Amino acid sequence: MITQVWQWLTSASSWEGSAGIGHRLLQHLEYSAITVLIASALAIPLGLWIGHTGRGRWMVTAANSLRAVPSLGLLFAVALWLGPKLHGNSAYVVPSIVVLVVLAIPPLLAGAYAGVAGVDPAARDAAHGMGMTEGQVLLQVEVPCALPLMLSGVRSATLQVIATATIASAVSLGGLGRFLIDGLALGEYNVMAGGAIVVALLALGVDTVLAALQAAVVSPGLSGGTSRFRGRRTRTDRGQPTASENEPGVVGVVAKG
């Protein structure tokens, strides 16, 4: 089986055409990107507003309850209700995107809300004391401090969308899930295994990119990063010893001083 899977993954014919790995991979990325963008446009501003004002917290709880809804069951329900009202390829794409957006909203909303709600009240008070408006406090103080949790929510939602878009192929959506559905129907288990591997690699690759983006945009002070020069001085400005004086050769110098 492993040999057959490897042969399928490395075969040039497996990557060619509209049913090849390359085309299906681009489809999967397209559906996932559209879903995350729509869900972010809906959930992140709402989460920021809830965290800033403290109102409507019930919406976060209600959104989190959606995580208990079976993804496949919701997918079939929306497809049976919305599909007949649409025509052409949109009859398959739109219901799937709607379900994926619904499932992506909870982590995005929770991340934005928790990030803003967890900002140190002293930072807000200082901003208000400087004469900032509520909008300026939100955008210039709270959002930068909330970035770690917000981006964690984006990463969680993106991985969930990539995984759920695979089973959305059960209602004739394209993407990498077609390899699993068609492979099962035709008894080509090497194709099923190969498709699953490609989905896993895609999820790992996207998460790595998002992690690098998060590390680049989040302040080291918020992410827990420290300067490599921290603790190198032997005395503070007040002339008191520091922890670095425990290094070899430093204790004696301090004692003489």
Structural domain range at position 145: 18-225
**Which own/partner contact pairs does 246-249 have at CB distance under 8 Å and 24+ positions apart?**
none
- Give domain status of residue 166, yes or no: yes
Helix axes 189-217, 2-10, angle to 10 degrees: 60
| 14, pLDDT greater than 80 | yes
Average pLDDT over residues 135-140: 88
- Give domain status of residue 232, yes or no: no
- Give domain status of residue 234, yes or no: no
Say if pTM beats, i.e. exceeds, 0.85. Answer: no
Report the CATH number that the domain containing residue 44 is assigned in CATH.
1.10.3720.10
| 4, pLDDT greater than 70 | yes
Q: Is the CB of residue 110 less than 8 Å from the CB of residue 63?
A: yes
pLDDT at 255: 38
- Give domain status of residue 7, yes or no: no
pLDDT digits (tens, 9 = 90+) for 75-132: 888 888 888 888 877 888 898 999 999 999 999 999 999 999 988 888 888 988 888 8
pLDDT at 237: 45
- Give domain status of residue 240, yes or no: no
pLDDT digits (tens, 9 = 90+) for 16-48: 888 889 999 999 999 999 999 999 999 999 999
- Give domain status of residue 231, yes or no: no
Lookup: tokens for 131: 């004469």
Categorize the per-residue pLDDT at 242 as very low, low, confident or very high, splitting at 50, 70 and 90.
very low
- Give domain status of residue 191, yes or no: yes
pLDDT digits (tens, 9 = 90+) for 197-238: 999 999 999 999 999 998 888 877 666 554 443 444 444 444
Domains of the chain: total: 1
- Give domain status of residue 255, yes or no: no
